[in-house]
Amino acid sequence: MIGLPHVYLLAGIFLAAMALLSARDRGNPRRHSTALFWGLLSVGFLAGDTLPAEALGAMVILLALIAGAGGLRSGVHAPVDAHVLQERADRLGHRLLLPVLLVSLLTLAIALGAGHLRLDGKPLVAPVQTTVIALGVSCAFALLFALLITRAGPREALEGGRRLLDAIGWAALLPLLLAVLGSVFARAGVGELLSGLLTASLPLELHAVALLAYALGMALLTMVMGNAFAAFPVITIGIGLPVLVSQHHADPAPLAALGMLAGYCGTLLTPMAANFNIVPVALLGLRDQHAVIKAQAFTALPLFVCNLGLLFVLS
pLDDT at position 43: 92
Share of the chain above pLDDT 70, in %: 99
pLDDT tens readout for residues 95-104: 888 888 999 9
Q: Is the pLDDT of residue 306 over 90?
A: yes
Give 122's pLDDT tier (boundaries 50, 70, 90).
Answer: confident
pLDDT at position 253: 87
What secondary structure letter does DSSP report for 28? -
Give 152's pLDDT tier (boundaries 50, 70, 90).
Answer: confident
When pLDDT is averaged across residues 164-171 and rounded to a whole number, the result is 80
Q: Is the pLDDT of residue 110 over 80?
A: yes
Please list, in sequence order, all residues whose beta carbon lies within 8 angstroms of the beta carbon of residue 6, skipping any fewer than 6 positions away.
133, 136
Give 199's pLDDT tier (boundaries 50, 70, 90).
Answer: confident
156 CB-side CA count, 13 A: 14
pLDDT tens readout for residues 234-255: 888 888 888 899 988 988 888 9
Q: Which residues are paired to 290 by β-bridges?
A: none
Q: Is the pLDDT of residue 200 over 90?
A: no
pLDDT at position 226: 79
* Interatomic CA distance for residues 70 and 267, integer angstroms: 26
228 vs 266, higher pLDDT: 266
Q: Is the pLDDT of residue 303 over 90?
A: yes
Helix (H, G, I), strand (E, B) or coil at 56: helix
For the chain, what are the domain ranges? 4-68, 82-152, 173-314
What secondary structure letter does DSSP report for 2? B
Q: Is the pLDDT of residue 91 over 90?
A: no
179 vs 169, higher pLDDT: 169
pLDDT at position 26: 85
Q: From the CA atom positions of the chain, what is the Rg in Å? A: 22
8 Å CB contact between 234 and 185: yes
8 Å CB contact between 10 and 140: yes
pLDDT tens readout for residues 16-35: 999 999 998 888 888 899 99
